[in-house]
């Protein structure tokens, strides 16, 4: 690998968008349920096929922040309207978007300052 530092986002949030335009990729893979045990191997093979990188799965304990419901199940309602997702170096506005959208934005913005934020899934109660 010529320059591994290109894999890491810049410390200065003002330079993040420029870095993301050339160095960030999004990837998804769908496999039949019968092949679900192979999904990580398939992803590793794809990474090696399309990029000059090798990957391995490592299980380890890691500190994270958990966003979880602390009250009884109540459906979250929205007043509706057009989704607004505006982020900037000094803050942002998120209206009528999924909680996951907000969490992704927080993880992107604070990935060097905070542990990752995850959403603890809850079961739908009758």
| CA quadruple 25, 31, 36, 42: dihedral, nearest 10 | -50
Q: Are residues 21 and 53 in the same domain?
A: yes
pTM tops 0.75: no
| CA quadruple 123, 124, 125, 126: dihedral, nearest 10 | -150
Number of structural domains in the chain: 2
* pLDDT number for residue 59: 85
Q: Are residues 86 and 123 in the same domain?
A: yes
Q: Could you say which of 12, 36, 60 is where a domain stops?
A: 60
The domain in which residue 36 lies consists of 1-60
Count CA atoms within 13 Å of residue 2 on its CB side. Answer: 2
pLDDT in tens, 30-88: 889 999 899 989 988 998 898 887 888 888 888 887 877 777 666 666 677 888 888 77
**C-alpha span between 116 and 66 (Å, rounded):** 8
Q: Are residues 71 and 39 in the same domain?
A: no
Q: Could you say which of 38, 60, 82 is where a domain stops?
A: 60
């Amino acid at each position: 690998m010529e320059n591994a530092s290109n894999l890491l986002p810049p410390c200065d949030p003002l330079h993040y968008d420029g870095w993301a335009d050339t160095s960030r990729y999004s990837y998804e893979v769908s496999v039949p349920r019968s092949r679900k045990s192979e999904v990580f191997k398939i992803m590793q093979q794809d990474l090696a096929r399309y990029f000059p990188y090798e990957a391995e799965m490592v299980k380890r304990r890691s500190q994270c922040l958990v966003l979880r419901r602390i009250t009884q199940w109540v459906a979250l309602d929205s007043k509706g309207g057009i989704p607004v997702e505006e982020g900037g170096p000094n803050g942002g506005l998120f209206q009528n978007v999924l909680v996951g959208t907000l969490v992704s934005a927080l993880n992107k913005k604070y990935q060097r300052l905070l542990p990752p934020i995850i959403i603890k899934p809850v079961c739908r109660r009758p």
